[in-house]
Amino acid sequence: VEERKDADKSDPYANDPKRHPALIPSSVKPFNAEPPVSLLIHNYITPNDLFFVRNHLPVPQINIKDFKLDIAIDGSEKKAKSFTVDTLKKVFPKRKITTTLQCAGNRRSEQIKIKPVKGLNWGMAAISTAEWTGATLDDVLKHCGVDIEKVNFAHIQFEGMDRGPDGTSYGASIPMEMARMLKNEIIIAYEMNGVDIPRDHGYPLRVIVPGTVGARQVKWLNKIVLSNEESGSHWQQRDYKGFNASVDWDTVDFKKSHAIQFLPVNSAICEPEEGQTLEKDADEVTLKGYAWSGGGRGIFRVDVSADGGKTWRTADLLEKPESLKQTDYRAWAWVFWEATIPLPENHDGKVELVCKASDSQYNVQPDSVEGVWNLRGCLNNAWHRVHVNVAK
């Protein structure tokens, strides 16, 4: 990657890549952005340049000729093994996974409206879907003499090449138990939708852990460590955890909470949009949106309401692409849905639309944002509400 001519050497973000102008930033340095919701549900597979971007630090400049992925065993002096990207491509069978990635902070803006939280002001599009290609973690570890089924280490740590001002790199980990459950569906990806992973999304390598929060799917991956400890990183230890609505910054104890891994069931209305005015004298409305659950749980049902949740109709779940044979318990990718429902007869020009989904474990979304509010604004999966005006 060449340095930009105009790069300001004192700005660590000076060499960040160019981005699609349609992306809506929630922060510029580091760059974080989501696509407009209308574009989000336009493509089942999100185009790379519209995929939401969640960067914690500057995008690293990586020279592919010098790049290696190290596999290390905690407590052991020497590395177990190093791989170039070329080796990963040549030595291991190619595995493709189509999976939805969601930021833990997706839909945080609805929490912020109730009470301030610490975190980026994400709308409902900090979620996207791509087909990732790579070597399975299982194959790579086996090559290193490690059998996930038998290994005694309790965690797998992932380290990225993105670094903060103090030199520490982004890191995260998953429990070995999750690696066993997901096994040959965790991949060390080198392609995103058929091309080299774009710089914003982890070039040249990103670990893909289907069904899991985006934060654990480390970009610019250059180190995997088998360990008995979770990653010691800020983002594993003091971030991306859940708390009840009464925990504040004086009482919070990150040690006592659990790292977010698999995400709960979620859904959102992408059409119509908040504040939109429907056509004059409309007596029905067509809603469109997405639904997704973590842990491979598919979506059994999406319900929609045009009266704030007093009465419900079941939406149609749209067919997924023919090639995507994902089952009820290994459904890594989202579902799009659609419903045309009557407006309430005696509305006063203002209508509250609502959606909520049930996953294949019959887990449901909670009714109120108040109930899931937390000081970090993570894990908002309350019923999604959109208010529209109906001209009379």
Report the partner that residue 215 touches, choosing among a second copy, Mo ion, none (CB closer than 5 to 8 A by kind). Mo ion
When binding is defined by CB under 5 A, the residue of 59, 72, 73, 103 that contacts Mo ion is 103
Strands 53-54 and 69-73: unpaired
When binding is defined by CB under 8 A, the residue of 81, 294, 355, 386 that contacts a second copy is 294
Residues in Cβ contact with 103 at an 8 Å cutoff, skipping those fewer than 6 apart: 52, 54, 122, 126, 127, 213, 214, 215
**Considering only CA atoms, which of 294, 296, 169 is closest in space to residue 236?**
169
Rg (CA), the chain: 22
Report the partner that residue 300 touches, choosing among Mo ion, a second copy, none (CB closer than 5 to 8 A by kind). a second copy
Cα 329–Cα 331–Cα 332 angle in degrees, nearest 5: 130
Q: Give least dist CB 55 to Mo ion, A.
A: 10
Nearer CB in complex with a second copy: 110/159? 110
**Considering only CA atoms, which of 267, 228, 262 is closest in space to residue 358?**
267
Residue 130 backbone phi and psi in degrees, to 5: -145, 160
When binding is defined by CB under 8 A, the residue of 43, 244, 286, 340 that contacts a second copy is 244
Q: How far apart are CA 377 and CA 331, in angstroms?
A: 26
- Chain positions 329 to 358 lying near a second copy, rule: CB under 8 A, are 329-330, 356, 358
Q: Which stretch binds a second copy (CB under 8 A): 7-15, 90-98, 283-291, 368-376?
A: 368-376
Q: How many residues does this entry show for the chain?
A: 392
Nearer CB in complex with Mo ion: 172/285? 172
Q: Give least dist CB 215 to Mo ion, A.
A: 4
Query: Dihedral of CA 45/50/54/60: which sign?
Result: positive
- Chain positions 161 to 200 lying near a second copy, rule: CB under 8 A, are 175, 177-178, 181
Binding of Mo ion by 53 (CB under 5 A):
no
Report the partner that residue 86 touches, choosing among Mo ion, a second copy, none (CB closer than 5 to 8 A by kind). none
Nearer CB in complex with a second copy: 71/148? 148
**Considering only CA atoms, which of 286, 245, 188, 249 is closest in space to residue 380?**
245
- Please, are residues 69 and 218 in contact by the beta-carbon 8 Å criterion? no
Binding of a second copy by 258 (CB under 8 A):
yes
Helix (H) or strand (E) holding 357: strand 350-359
Binding of a second copy by 37 (CB under 8 A):
no
Q: Site residues (CB under 5 A) for Mo ion?
A: 54, 103-104, 214-215
By CB under 8 A, name the binding residues for a second copy.
175, 177-178, 181, 242, 244-247, 256-258, 260-265, 294-295, 297, 300-301, 303, 309, 311-314, 327-330, 356, 358, 360-368, 371-372, 379, 381, 383
